Amino acid sequence: MKVALGQMAVSKDVQENLDCCLSLIEQATRAGAQLLVLPEGVLARNVADPELVLKSAQALDGDFVTRLSAATRDTDLTVVFCIHTPAGPGKVWNTLVVLHDGQVLAHYHKLHLYDAFSVKESTYVQPGQDVPALIEVAGLKVGLMTCYDLRFPELARRLSIDGAQVLLAPSAWLKGPLKEHHWRVLTTARALENTAYVVAVGECGERNIGQSLVVDPLGVIVAQAAETPTLLLVDLDRERLAYARRILPVLDNRRFQTPQLAVS
């Protein structure tokens, strides 16, 4: 599978972000990618106005998703990204969206909200209540996660037990002491402990680290971006995946039951 990682800096202007996403879709399509992963929160962001997540939120049938969806029509490209969608008065969902051939193929409401390091995502965001179903891209089974989900091994393990061979994590990983180290350790751990590819795409810009990367099923970082906008193209190797699961059968050797989502 050829994967494109679309690293971008999200601005406060929705149209500017839409144009950037459309450009990345066009570039990925021309490059023959079968999957394009974009960051978390690509609709709009303004550090000086945290309520922008409420004011800019759009439904899945709104203009932003509709325009991006149309760009995938009659192509082989699947596109994954996150936006904020309305969830009632004063609240939004942090929603991962999957597009393919002009349709919303799937969506997932972020389970783990980033209430850490002096940030409180739950002020405006409603947590999800469901483990996301797998999707299939180019014959590979793909699990969906979002950013802070990477710090919770139960979700990655559950998705892998369900059959995921690739784990996606659109992200907006904040800068801060040791945060780049955490990013590399956590993405590597989720890949190695589940013998799965991890494709983690981070927003870059004034507050986020960028550094989008692909980790292979034996914990090797096979490609990584720097801190600026870019489109990174990576081939995921089915033989490497099969080899890893043959020599390191952790999913077969496990002694614990399948993780279940706690009732909130």
Residues 6 or more apart whose CB falls under 8 angstroms from that of 123 comprise: 50
Q: Are 82 and 93 in contact (CB under 8 A)?
A: no
Looking at residue 263, what is its pLDDT?
78
Calculate ∠ Cα 245-35-5, nearest 5°: 95
Integer Cα distance of 114 and 150 in angstroms? 11
Integer Cα distance of 65 and 76 in angstroms? 18
Active-site residue numbers? 40, 110, 147
How long is the chain? 264
- At residue 161, what are phi and psi to the nearest 5 degrees? -65, -35
Domains and CATH numbers, the chain: 2-248 (3.60.110.10)
The answer to whether the predicted template modeling score (pTM) of the entire model surpasses 0.95 is yes
Q: What is the pLDDT along the chain (264 residues), one digit of tens a residue?
A: 999 999 999 999 999 999 999 999 999 999 999 999 999 999 999 988 999 999 999 999 999 999 999 999 999 999 999 999 999 999 999 999 999 999 999 999 999 999 999 999 999 999 999 999 999 999 999 999 999 999 999 999 999 999 999 999 999 999 999 999 999 999 999 999 999 999 999 999 999 999 999 999 999 999 999 999 999 999 999 999 999 999 999 999 999 999 999 976
Instruction: Classify residue 244 by burial, with Cβ atoms within 10 Å: 0-12, 13-18, 19+.
Output: buried
Q: Are 113 and 119 in contact (CB under 8 A)?
A: no
Instruction: Classify residue 250 by burial, with Cβ atoms within 10 Å: 0-12, 13-18, 19+.
Output: middle
Return the percent helix, strand and coil in the chain, to nearest 5.
Answer: 30, 30, 40
